[in-house]
Amino acid sequence: MNRRRATTPVVHTAHRHLHLACYDVSDPTRLIAALRLTRAYATGGQKSVHELYLSPSERIGLIEDMSALLNLDIDRFLLLRLDPRSKVHALGTAVRPADPSHFYVG
């Protein structure tokens, strides 16, 4: 059997900034789609709050994709860029967010 190997997109992480993304989505189908979309960019987080390292173009793409996905009359999405000068505090067994040298999207 001859299988063709799918190409895997690899994104270099230069000039990326740490963001927090969260959402409140009322419809279960849209909720799952929002979760999948956000997790495609996430490097960590928990439940419906995710840590994402985004370049300016990735940030715009995520906002555009989420806007097309959600019902803007009843659903909410917040994408917050964290100040890179601020110190990150991890409590308990939490792992500090890290921007890897390469990031798999897919």
pLDDT tens digits, 36-85: 999 888 887 777 789 899 999 999 999 999 999 999 999 999 999 988 77
Under 8 Å CB-to-CB from 75, ≥6 apart: which residues?
Answer: 23, 24, 25, 26, 27, 30, 34
| Two tokens, residue 60 | 């715009």
pLDDT digits over 7-42, tens only? Answer: 444 444 458 888 999 999 999 999 999 999 998 888
CATH architecture of 14-83: 2-Layer Sandwich (3.30)
Instruction: State residue 44's pLDDT score.
Output: 78
Sorted by where each begins, the domain ranges of the chain are: 14-83
pLDDT (0 to 100) of residue 4: 45
pLDDT exceeds cutoff 50 at 86: yes
Evaluate if residue 96 carries a pLDDT over 80. Answer: no
> Dihedral (C-alpha) 100, 14, 20, 75: value to the nearest 10 degrees?
-120
Q: Are 19 and 99 spatial neighbours (Cβ–Cβ below 8 Å)?
A: no
